[in-house]
């Protein structure tokens, strides 16, 4: 165990110098479109100088892709005619924590401000989530969320993966060993260090275990207020990669690494708390009742908004080319606009009494994979739910009964189809996320699709090289 002095400590402008009195450096980071942390280490004195007014952060982080290749689709902060002005980066003191596996260096996340409008940056993932959290507060609700990630671990490094051409990777463990108590013993230092270090990093795991598949783990990140939940989920992915490297191997959050095995999910849970501190998805009196037993009218409207919006936010829940290899029939992944009460076959699972307590009533969005940008995915779902409540949306499809599939819309089969649904003139995504965000985001995904269209794959070589 480490002794992390940031655990449960709230940083403020009044105490920040005291909190950093024994430090010489500070790490800061923004979250980019793909959910990657982009940041730097700063001298403590420089950090203290910019706490009040912020500092310049190059806008290219929203002008290039996951491999630092400039977007080919002419986004605002990329392209041949872009001068790459600085964004204004503002320190979020509430994000203060220390990194145990990096000698407890202090760490802060940033918000970004547009260089010309001086408004919160429309494509900043943390801003998108904060805005909808604030919207809920204005109508008397606190949004809560939590994420469960599945991910593969390999006995590889970044260099060895390149040397192998990203194929024939050696898994950390062998076999299909879900919920195994034997497999973690083979990597016990990693298994327990990860749990303890993440706790000290203020990214508590409620639990974690082996999942079915070679070298696969699943971690449930503690349920909390949605803005903090977004931070924790994003930090978890980078932290787990770093912790794995500390122990000599590599963690991957790719949605579908293997053709013949299930993919890796990034399931998100949501609920609302009302002004009285009660779960707004539960029924506490007659006024809460809906036409569906054990589901409050607020829960029904929230769910309806999410289901109506789902086809047009799919490009956020499934943001990569590989995402759609997971979203196929017969692999426990939802492919339609669908929902069910305690039913894991639909896009949304309703968890409500009598199988849960009232306080635990919630919705589980099961579409997203491990490759989501958690801030954007949470924001998109919450914004659809908010819209559903505000406009009193009705459910577009009835609940699934057993394995029965109502005739809900089939979700997009490719990233290109999802982009078309998102950028449609009257899409729910445009209504809830705004034109500026949708126009920017769809261009970044179109860039991904363009690269894929030009790629020549191993599948093509195996199938056509000799015989056509």
Q: What is the mean pLDDT of the chain?
A: 95
What is the CATH classification number for the domain harbouring 408?
Answer: 3.30.590.10
Whole-number percent of the chain with pLDDT over 90 = 91
Answer whether residue 438 is part of any domain: yes
Instruction: Give the pairing of strands 25-31 and 37-43.
Output: antiparallel
Last residue of a domain, one of 88, 121, 154: 121
My answer on whether 199 and 91 are in the same domain is: no
- CA-to-CA distance for 230 and 377, rounded, in angstroms? 9
What is the CATH classification number for the domain harbouring 55?
Answer: 3.10.20.70
Contact 352, 361 (CB under 8 A): yes
Instruction: Give the pairing of strands 86-99 and 224-225.
Output: unpaired
DSSP string across 139-193: TT-EEEEEEEEEEEEES--HHHHHHTTT-S--BSS-S--TT-SSGGGGGHHHHHH
Is the per-residue pLDDT at 408 higher than 70? yes
pLDDT at site 53: 95
Write out pLDDT tens, residues 224-252.
Answer: 999 999 999 999 999 999 999 999 999 99
As given in the structure block, the two tokens for residue 324 are 């759609």
Write out pLDDT tens, residues 442-466.
Answer: 999 999 999 999 999 999 999 999 9
- CA-to-CA distance for 283 and 286, rounded, in angstroms? 8
Where are any strands of DSSP class E within 75-154?
86-99, 105-113, 142-154
Write out pLDDT tens, residues 187-217.
Answer: 999 999 999 999 999 999 999 999 999 999 9
Answer whether residue 127 is part of any domain: no
Q: Which of 262, 270, 263 is nearest to 233 (CA)?
A: 270
Write out pLDDT tens, residues 46-72.
Answer: 999 999 999 999 999 999 999 999 999
Contact 315, 415 (CB under 8 A): yes
- The model's confidence at residue 1, banded by pLDDT at 50, 70 and 90, is very low
My answer on whether 172 and 292 are in the same domain is: yes
Last residue of a domain, one of 54, 89, 121: 121
- The model's confidence at residue 82, banded by pLDDT at 50, 70 and 90, is confident
Q: Please tell me the total count of domains within the chain.
A: 2
My answer on whether 394 and 253 are in the same domain is: yes
Query: In sequence order, which ranges of 30-118 are alpha helices (DSSP H)?
Result: 44-50
- CA-to-CA distance for 65 and 342, rounded, in angstroms? 38
Answer whether residue 441 is part of any domain: yes
Contact 93, 51 (CB under 8 A): yes
Of 183-197, 399-413, 426-440, give the lowest mean pLDDT range.
Answer: 399-413
- CA-to-CA distance for 380 and 268, rounded, in angstroms? 12
Answer whether residue 108 is part of any domain: yes
Write out pLDDT tens, residues 342-366.
Answer: 999 899 999 999 989 999 999 999 9
Answer whether residue 3 is part of any domain: no
Where are any strands of DSSP class E within 311-457?
339-341, 348-351, 362-365
* Relative orientation angle of helices 226-246 and 374-391, to the nearest 10 degrees: 160
pLDDT at site 50: 98
- The model's confidence at residue 307, banded by pLDDT at 50, 70 and 90, is very high
Answer whether residue 177 is part of any domain: yes
My answer on whether 237 and 94 are in the same domain is: no
Average pLDDT over residues 267-296: 96
Answer whether residue 4 is part of any domain: no
pTM over 0.75: yes
Residue 70 three-state SS: strand
pLDDT at site 405: 66
Is the per-residue pLDDT at 403 higher than 70? no
Give residue 48's domain range.
16-121
DSSP string across 246-294: HTT-EEE--S-S-TTS---BEEEEEEEE-TTS-BTTS--SGGGB-SSTT
* The length of the chain, given as a count of residues: 468
Is the per-residue pLDDT at 43 higher than 90? yes
Is the per-residue pLDDT at 398 higher than 70? yes
pLDDT at site 5: 63
Answer whether residue 417 is part of any domain: yes
My answer on whether 220 and 365 are in the same domain is: yes
Is the per-residue pLDDT at 164 higher than 80? yes
My answer on whether 116 and 236 are in the same domain is: no
Q: Which of 261, 377, 234, 375 is nearest to 319 (CA)?
A: 377
My answer on whether 334 and 389 are in the same domain is: yes
The residue to which tokens 């900043």 are assigned: 124
As given in the structure block, the two tokens for residue 37 are 């942390």
């Amino acid at each position: 165990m480490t002794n992390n002095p940031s655990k449960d400590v709230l940083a403020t402008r009044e105490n920040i110098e005291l909190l950093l009195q024994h430090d010489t450096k500070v790490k800061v980071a923004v979250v980019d479109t793909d959910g990657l942390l982009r940041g730097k280490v700063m001298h403590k004195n420089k950090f203290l100088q910019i706490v009040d007014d912020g500092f310049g952060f190059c806008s290219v982080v929203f002008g290039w892709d996951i491999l630092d290749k400039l977007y080919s689709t002419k986004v605002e902060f990329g392209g041949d005619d872009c001068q790459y002005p600085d964004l204004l980066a503002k320190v979020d003191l509430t994000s203060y924590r220390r990194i145990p596996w990096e000698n407890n260096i202090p760490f802060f996340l940033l918000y970004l401000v547009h260089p010309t409008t001086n408004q919160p940056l429309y494509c900043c993932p943390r801003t998108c989530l904060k805005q909808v959290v604030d919207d809920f507060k204005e109508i008397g609700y606190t949004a809560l969320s939590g994420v469960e990630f599945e991910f593969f671990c390999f006995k590889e490094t970044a260099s060895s993966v390149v040397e192998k051409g990203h194929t024939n990777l050696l898994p950390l463990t062998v076999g299909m060993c879900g919920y195994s108590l034997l497999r973690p013993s083979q990597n016990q230092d990693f298994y327990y260090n990860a749990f303890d270090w993440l706790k000290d990093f203020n990214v508590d795991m409620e639990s974690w275990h082996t999942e079915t598949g070679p070298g696969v783990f699943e971690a449930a990140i503690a349920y909390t207020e949605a803005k903090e939940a977004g931070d924790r989920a994003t930090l978890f992915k980078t932290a787990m990669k770093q912790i794995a490297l500390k122990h000599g191997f590599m963690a991957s959050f790719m949605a579908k690494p293997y053709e013949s095995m299930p993919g890796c999910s990034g399931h998100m849970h949501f609920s609302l708390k009302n002004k009285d501190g009660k779960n707004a998805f539960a029924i506490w009196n007659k006024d809460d009742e809906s036409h569906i037993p054990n589901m409050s009218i607020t829960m029904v409207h929230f769910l309806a908004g999410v289901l109506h919006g789902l086809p047009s936010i799919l490009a956020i829940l499934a943001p990569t080319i590989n995402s759609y290899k997971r979203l196929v029939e017969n692999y426990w992944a939802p492919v339609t606009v669908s929902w069910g009460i305690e039913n894991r076959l639909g896009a949304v699972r309703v968890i409500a009494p009598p199988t849960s307590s009232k306080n635990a009533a919630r919705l589980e969005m099961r579409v997203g994979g491990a490759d989501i940008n958690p801030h954007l995915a949470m924001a998109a779902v919450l914004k659809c739910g908010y819209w559903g409540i505000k406009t009193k949306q009705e459910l577009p499809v009835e609940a699934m009964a057993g394995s029965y599939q109502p005739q809900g819309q089939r979700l997009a089969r490719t990233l290109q189809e999802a982009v078309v649904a998102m950028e449609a003139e009257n899409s729910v995504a445009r209504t809830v996320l705004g034109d500026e965000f949708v126009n920017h985001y769809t261009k970044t995904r179109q860039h991904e699709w363009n690269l894929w269209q030009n790629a020549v794959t191993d599948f093509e070589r195996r199938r056509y090289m000799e015989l056509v």
